[in-house]
Structure 1
Amino acid sequence: MNRSESKYFATAARMDEAFLKLLEKKDFTYITVKEICEKAGVNRSTFYLHYETVSDLLAESARYIIDQFVEAMPHDTAEFMSQIQTRPLEELYLITPEYLTPYLNYIKKHRRIFRTTLEQASVLGMNDAYLSLNRHVFIPILNRYHVPLPNQKYMMPFYINGIMGIVNEWLKENCEDSIEHMISVIQVCIPGHQFEESQR
C-alpha cells in the first residue's frame, strides 16, 4: 500500500469512528454528513469521495463490526470450518451456551449499530453475508446430520431468520434480558433433537 492509499484508508477509518461515536448518542436517521465530517475533521467533498450516502457508511461500519466480532471469537473459525467433516456431531450444534454467549455478548456491547443495521437491512443488502454463512458453514453441518438435500434449502433460512428475529426483539428492548435467558429462549425455539432425528 502506497502513501496515498494509506491516507485514503486512514481518512475512511476516521469517518467510521466518528459515525460510530455519533450512533452511540443519537438515532441513525438524525445523523448528518455535516456532523460526521465535523467529528472526523474532514470536509464534505472528502466524505463523498468515500461514500455516496450515510447508509453506505453504515454498511461499511457494520462490516467492520462483524469483522471485529469474528476476530474476537474464542474459537478458530478457519479451524472449525476445516474440521466440520471430522468433529463429533454434538460440537456442530451451534446453539450451545459455548457458542451463543460470546455472540450475544458482542451484540449487546455494540447494540446500537446492530439495531440500526437490522432496521436498515433492506437498504444495506446484508442478506449476502447470511447466504455466504449458509453455504460455507451451515450446509456442511446439515450434511453431517444427514438432513435430506430437498429439506436443507428450507431449514437454514428458517433457523437463521428465527435466531435473527429473537435477537432483533432483544435489541428493540435494548438487550435488557440476560444473555442466559436469551440462550434458553433460542434453545427452546430451536431444539437439537430435530437434527438428531435426521440421523435416523
Structure 2
Amino acid sequence: MNRNESRYFKTAAKMDEAFLRLIEEKDLEFITVKEICNKAGVNRSTFYLHYETIDDLLSESLEYMNGHFLDFMGQKDSAFIERISQCQKEELYLVTPKYLEKYLEYVKSNRHLFENAVKRPQVLRLDESYEKMFRFVFTPILERCQVPEENRRYLMAFYIHGIMAIITEWLKSNCEDSVEQIMSIIQQCVTHRRNQ
C-alpha cells in the first residue's frame, strides 16, 4: 500500500469512528455531513471523495464495526472452520451460548448503530452477510449433520431470520431485557426446532 492509499484509509477510518460516535448521540436522520466532518477533522469535500451519501458511510461503518466485532470475539475464520471440521458432532450447534452471548453484548453496546441498520436493511446488505455466513460457517455444520443440500437454504433462512426478528424486537425496547433473557429465548427457539 502506498502513502496515498494509506492516507485514504486512515481518513475513512476517522470518518467511520466519528460517525459511530455521533450515532450514539442521535438518530441517523439528524446527523449531517457537516457534523461528521467536524468530528473527524476533515473537509466536506473529503467526505464526498469517499461517499455519495450518509447511507454509504453507514454501510462502511457496519463493516468497520464487524471487523472490531471479530477482534472482540478473538477468533479468526480459519480457526473456527477448522474447529467445525474436527469437533464432536454433538458440539455442532448453529447457535452456541458462548458466541451468542458475546454477539448480544456487542449488539447491546452498539445498539444505536444496529437500530439504524435494521431500519435500513438495504444499507446493511443483510443478504450478503447471510450468504457469507452461510457459506463459511453454516454449510460445513450442515454437511457434517448430513442435512440434504436442497434443504439447507430453507433451514438457514429460518434460523437467521428468526434470530434477527428477536434481536430487532430487543432493539425496539432499547435492549432493556438482559442479554441472558434474550439468549434464553433464542436458545429455546433453536433447541425446540432441533429436537423435533
Bin for the TM-score computed over the shorter chain: over 0.9
Is 1:110 aligned to 2:137, yes or no? no
Query: Aligned AA for 1:127?
Result: D
Residue in 2 that maps onto 1:79 = 79
Residue in 1 that maps onto 2:189 = 189
TM-score (norm 1): 0.91
8 Å contact kept, 1:111–1:174: yes
Residue in 1 that maps onto 2:146 = 146
Secondary structure at the aligned position of 2:84 is classed as coil
Secondary structure at the aligned position of 2:90 is classed as helix
Q: Distance in 2 between matches of 1:89 and 1:136?
A: 18
Deviation at 1:165, TM superposition (A): 0.8
Deviation at 1:90, TM superposition (A): 2.7
Secondary structure at the aligned position of 1:174 is classed as coil
8 Å contact kept, 2:166–2:186: yes
Deviation at 1:2, TM superposition (A): 2.0
Indicate how the Cα distance of structure 1 residues 99 and 123 shifts in structure 2: closer, same or farther if over 3 A, else same: closer
Percent identity between the two aligned chains: 53
8 Å contact kept, 2:37–2:43: yes
Q: Distance in 2 between matches of 1:141 and 1:123?
A: 29
Residue in 1 that maps onto 2:11 = 11
- What is the number of residues matched between the two proteins? 196
Residue in 2 that maps onto 1:27 = 27
8 Å contact kept, 1:94–1:100: no
TM-score (norm 2): 0.93
Indicate how the Cα distance of structure 1 residues 192 and 90 shifts in structure 2: closer, same or farther if over 3 A, else same: farther
Deviation at 1:126, TM superposition (A): 3.0
Indicate how the Cα distance of structure 1 residues 29 and 125 shifts in structure 2: closer, same or farther if over 3 A, else same: same
Q: Deviations over 1:94-146 (max 9, x none)?
A: 32322211111111111111111111112342320111111121121112112
Unaligned runs of 5+ in 2: none
Q: Distance in 2 between matches of 1:139 and 1:71?
A: 23
Deviation at 1:86, TM superposition (A): 2.3
Q: Distance in 2 between matches of 1:97 and 1:75?
A: 16
Query: Aligned AA for 1:59?
Result: S
Q: Distance in 2 between matches of 1:73 and 1:79?
A: 12
Residue in 2 that maps onto 1:89 = 89
Q: Deviations over 1:21-56 (max 9, x none)?
A: 110111001111111112212221111000010000
Moved runs in structure 1, 4+ residues, more than 3 A?
Answer: 74-77
Secondary structure at the aligned position of 1:191 is classed as helix
Secondary structure at the aligned position of 1:94 is classed as coil
Query: Aligned AA for 1:91?
Result: E
Secondary structure at the aligned position of 2:86 is classed as coil
Unaligned runs of 5+ in 1: none
Query: Aligned AA for 1:43?
Result: N
8 Å contact kept, 2:118–2:124: no
